[in-house]
Structure 1
Amino acid sequence: MTGGRPLRIDSDALRAWPLPALAPDADKEERGRILVIAGSREMPGSAVLAATAALRVGAGKLAIATPRSIATQMAFTMPEARVIALPETAAGGLDPAGVGQLAHAATAAHGVLAGPGLLDRDATCAFLQQLLPLLSQEQAVVLDALAMDCTLRLRRFARPVLLTPHAGEMAHLTGAAKDEVLADPLGAAARAAQRWNAVVAVKGPATAIAAPEGRCWLHEGGNAGLATSGSGDALAGAIAGLCARGASLEQACAWGVALHAQAGDRLARRLGAVGYLARELPLEMLAALREMEAGYPCAPAV
């Protein structure tokens, strides 16, 4: 916040807030370990989109925890990842009994993303209620999609995590009307951030980010093409990947939102305002990141 107003997220603001530098000879451990807890037999692609985006923004070492029924498929689809097969419920969610299998990978990760493509609300919430206390203060946690429903049980996090709801999800989590959230996304984010002790990003044409201490940011940009299936999974993965590299929750969110919007703009110029696919976003986010960090235009990804 500056003078009671949110800080606008644009290229100048991000250049003044550079991401943690990576040494030219940094190995994959130094670039950060990320754990993506995602996917289901109905939505295995969500895990792929999130994990791909995390690697594209520079995370070094990837593990994916996913239901046992799709683990082999996931290992072949994402050969870059260690895949941890977890027991699942009859409804296709992660069985909380599997948290113990995940403990080592979770505590070793610099960034943890949970939510994309998960099923079974009750099982997911119970799973996270057991997992979150195992994580340290230094680990960045990003909750997306169904994983955000744990706020309805926990009410307030013991230490800040990042949540990434769109207006509909925010209405569901807070009990507000969707139109109220759309009319004042910054206010909705700020109130929720303080209530939940979380960094909250309310996604939309104007994305509002609020921290529990009262700091706020606003990003305006992107295009209608970003409102496509899987787009939010790619964004969540990029944010978590930047966290794994050492960015704070707020910084990773601001950069991730901006890179996501810029990737959409790059694809719109090449392919048209709508019709591009979420799977095409991670590579364009990489090009946008290179352009932002280098300060000169990069050619479109191919």
Structure 2
Amino acid sequence: MNDASLRDPGLLDSELLRQFPLPEPPEDADKDERGLALFIAGSRELSGAALLAGIGALRAGAGKLRIATSDSIALGLGIAIPEARVIAFAEGEEGCIDASEIAALVEECEGVDSLTIGPGMRHGPALATLIETVLDRGGSHRLVLDAAALGVLPPLAEKMRGSRVGAILLPHAGEMARLLECERDSVTADPLAAAREAAARYGAVALVKGSWSFIAAPDGRSFRFRGGGVGLATSGSGDTLAGIVGGLAARGADPLTATLWGVYLHGEAGRMLTAQVGKVGFLAREILDLVPGLMERG
């Protein structure tokens, strides 16, 4: 690694991705060899987030999908994604996970290859306790944190840096401001600096999403990606990205590789939909059908 690679962000494109190949399962691999992705996601009002994230993981090539979600939506989610095993948990106050469910959820994390927490969930003390317990327990899985999970992380920064779990943070500018305990304007003024600070503070690969997205790794490497167009600024788009990244991590991609590929696939799907459908108006769910083909093209 040279000084320039630490100072200047590399351009994320298909050429760069050749340096970060995805794990390829052998032709005779079974679904276990392609990885198990677990999502703790969704709430009574945001069931679609869990659906989009879960399908995203399968489209990214994960072999098995498990979703732990609110008991109020678990049955419908299981019907909507028949490929998934759906685990119901009780919601507590204000729609957050009930504290009594934490031990059982942590047990569900045993043996998974990636764990994604946050899409469609509600903030609350129990969510912070869940993440802290996951960090304390350790494990060999990759940890992807998105949406509500990001809002409870600042008190856990030291614990995250010391954890053996490889972590990925997927905030937009507002969520990054909460992670860094600063004003949103500070993030938008220099998103690369924000990504680098978050990567160092939390010991994780950190993304700042935007028209230009910036990715930083704890070792100092950083990358920039020209976004896939304004059409990606739509409800559910972030959930699809979290699902894609979680699925790639389940396949065995390290945190940086999973993030780079996830950002690229998500953005390139946005470019294709812009050409096919229009600058705005395509749906987040339409992103996911394009992912397998884009992975083949690289």
Q: TM-score normalised to the size of structure 2?
A: 0.94
8 Å CA contact 1:94–1:127 kept in 2: the answer is no
8 Å CA contact 2:17–2:261 kept in 1: the answer is yes
Partner of 2:271: 265
8 Å CA contact 2:43–2:121 kept in 1: the answer is yes
Please give the alpha-carbon distance, in whole angstroms, between the structure 1 residues aligned to 2:279 and 2:57: 25
- Range 117-126 or range 204-213, more displaced: 117-126
Identity of aligned residues (%): 45
8 Å CA contact 1:206–1:221 kept in 2: the answer is yes
Q: Secondary structure at the match of 1:265?
A: helix
TM superposition outliers: structure 1 runs of 4+ over 4 Å: none
Please give the alpha-carbon distance, in whole angstroms, between the structure 2 residues aligned to 1:259 and 1:19: 12
Alignment pair present for 1:10 and 2:13? yes
Q: Which of residues 48, 53, 68 in structure 2 aligns to 1:50?
A: 53
Please give the alpha-carbon distance, in whole angstroms, between the structure 2 residues aligned to 1:130 and 1:274: 41
Q: Secondary structure at the match of 1:84?
A: strand
Partner of 1:248: 254
Q: Which of residues 48, 59, 63 in structure 2 aligns to 1:60?
A: 63
Please give the alpha-carbon distance, in whole angstroms, between the structure 2 residues aligned to 1:103 and 1:155: 20
8 Å CA contact 2:13–2:225 kept in 1: the answer is yes
Q: Secondary structure at the match of 1:94?
A: coil
After TM superposition, give the deviation of residue 67 of structure 1 in Å: 1.1
Output the amino acid matched with 2:147: A
Spell out, residue by residue over 1:62-118, the C-alpha distance to the aligned partner (whole angstroms, 9 max, x if none).
000001111111111111111111121031111132122223431110000000000
Please give the alpha-carbon distance, in whole angstroms, between the structure 2 residues aligned to 1:170 and 1:114: 16
Q: 1:149-188 to 2 correspondence within 5 Å?
A: 149-156=151-158, 157=160, 158-159=162-163, 160-188=166-194
Partner of 2:146: 144
Please give the alpha-carbon distance, in whole angstroms, between the structure 1 residues aligned to 2:43 and 2:227: 31
8 Å CA contact 1:121–1:149 kept in 2: the answer is no
Spell out, residue by residue over 1:134-155, the C-alpha distance to the aligned partner (whole angstroms, 9 max, x if none).
231x210000000012312212
8 Å CA contact 2:53–2:244 kept in 1: the answer is yes
Q: Which of residues 19, 23, 29 in structure 2 aligns to 1:20?
A: 23
Please give the alpha-carbon distance, in whole angstroms, between the structure 1 residues aligned to 2:227 and 2:237: 15
- Range 13-22 or range 110-119, more displaced: 13-22
Q: Secondary structure at the match of 2:24?
A: coil
Spell out, residue by residue over 1:223-245, the C-alpha distance to the aligned partner (whole angstroms, 9 max, x if none).
00000000000001100100000
- Range 30-39 or range 103-112, more displaced: 103-112
Partner of 1:297: none
- Range 177-186 or range 253-262, more displaced: 177-186
Q: 1:1-302 to 2 correspondence within 5 Å?
A: 3=4, 4-136=7-139, 138-156=140-158, 157=160, 158-159=162-163, 160-292=166-298
Partner of 1:296: none
Root-mean-square deviation (CA, aligned residues, Å) is 1.4
Q: Which 5+ residue runs of structure 2 have no aligned equivalent?
A: none
Partner of 1:299: none
After TM superposition, give the deviation of residue 210 of structure 1 in Å: 1.1
Please give the alpha-carbon distance, in whole angstroms, between the structure 2 residues aligned to 1:221 and 1:143: 21
Spell out, residue by residue over 1:124-176, the C-alpha distance to the aligned partner (whole angstroms, 9 max, x if none).
2122222332231x210000000012312212203241111111111122132
Output the amino acid matched with 1:219: F
Please give the alpha-carbon distance, in whole angstroms, between the structure 2 residues aligned to 1:104 and 1:61: 17
8 Å CA contact 2:117–2:145 kept in 1: the answer is yes
Spell out, residue by residue over 1:164-193, the C-alpha distance to the aligned partner (whole angstroms, 9 max, x if none).
111111112213222221221111111111
Q: Secondary structure at the match of 2:8?
A: coil
